[in-house]
Homo-oligomer: A and B are copies of this chain.
């Protein structure tokens, strides 16, 4: 009996140490916005969106499976969504009230608590790559407007003509909203349709490190110069050692609740499971103030939360077992793509 106990203990310890040091299963969660209006969806759009979400997950998954940092998976996944006109980020961005595409993005590296953010740029093809360059290659965390674009040039970020961001669907969306606004349409419909489509990602890599990123064209019909939560570290994006969040919703309310930081802080300080912390902020605190939307959250054990209080949230995730899931609506059972 004594011999057995002596043998068993070291083996168990060894197994545990192995798990902690090298066997973290990578996890990736992405969203393509929480402003889904079910009545406006077609099966064609659903199919295209699911295909794009799958491509984005696969792009991030390749990084994670190659042992690359969470930051790379987040960047790669978001670039796929930024390049796809189905989402309100970069190509596909909504228009401002005066007919421009103003782009915002932010990224955060959880382990080092480093961050980068950009707001109000009009010529940067992939704003998430500029946010990352600001984090890694400048002394600053946040840059806006033409100053951010001047920095982008110095570090070789791809710039495009603003016309690149012009899509007919978004242009018609602005025209419709302007007409409704003029006609004094009910505010509720109008507001709901406005914050459609921000994209974001959170990832856990093999070394157990977390990252988060978010990119958006903001609100349809927004006033020139308005900044929402997406480029605000702590509101739209947060990552630390324990937790990573990317939010999507009516940005003003996400700033007023410091939504992403609030979720991670409840998880860290109150030891709330990530799902409970995310639901408290997204489905209780924000609606109490009058806002709506969703978020994706991930903890360092690979637990995922994806709460939202709109018709649907475009989302996909690579779970701890290597399976990929894609979903849009709340009542939808999460199927493999």
A residues within 8 Å of B by Cβ?
A: 113-115, 117, 119-120, 138-148, 150-151, 222-228, 232-235, 238, 251-252, 255-258, 261-262, 265-266, 269-270, 289
- State A128–B150 Cα separation when bound (angstroms): 28
**A141–B251 touching, CB < 8 Å:** yes
The chain B residue with its CB closest to the CB of A113 is: B256
Query: When the two chains form their complex, are residues B270 and A258 in contact, meaning their CB atoms are under 8 A apart?
Result: no
Beta-carbon contact of B226 and A140 below 8 Å: yes
Q: Complex: how many Å from CA A289 to CA B111?
A: 11
Complex CA–CA separation, A141 to B232 (angstroms):
11
Complex CA–CA separation, A115 to B232 (angstroms)? 14
A150 touches which of B119, B150, B224, B235 (Cβ 8 Å): B224
Q: How many copies does the complex hold?
A: 2
Show 27 A/B contacts (Cβ-Cβ < 8 Å), sorted by A: A113-B256, A115-B255, A120-B144, A140-B222, A140-B226, A141-B251, A141-B256, A142-B226, A142-B227, A142-B228, A142-B232, A143-B226, A143-B227, A145-B145, A146-B224, A147-B225, A150-B223, A232-B233, A232-B234, A234-B234, A234-B235, A234-B261, A258-B258, A261-B262, A262-B265, A265-B265, A265-B269
Interchain CB contact (< 8 A) of A144 among B227, B256, B289: B227
A140:B224 contact, CB within 8 angstroms: no
* Residue contact B233 to A114, C-beta cutoff 8 Å: no
Q: Is the CB of A256 within 8 A of B227?
A: no
Question: Which residue in chain B gives the minimum CB-CB distance to A149?
Answer: B225
The residue that A223 contacts in the complex, of B113, B151, B262, B270, with Cβ under 8 A, is B151
Residues on B with beta carbons closer than 8 Å to the beta carbon of A226: 140, 142-143, 147
Complex Cα gap A224–B289 (Å): 35
Q: Is the CB of B233 within 8 A of A233?
A: no
User: A233 and B262: CB pair below 8 A?
Assistant: no
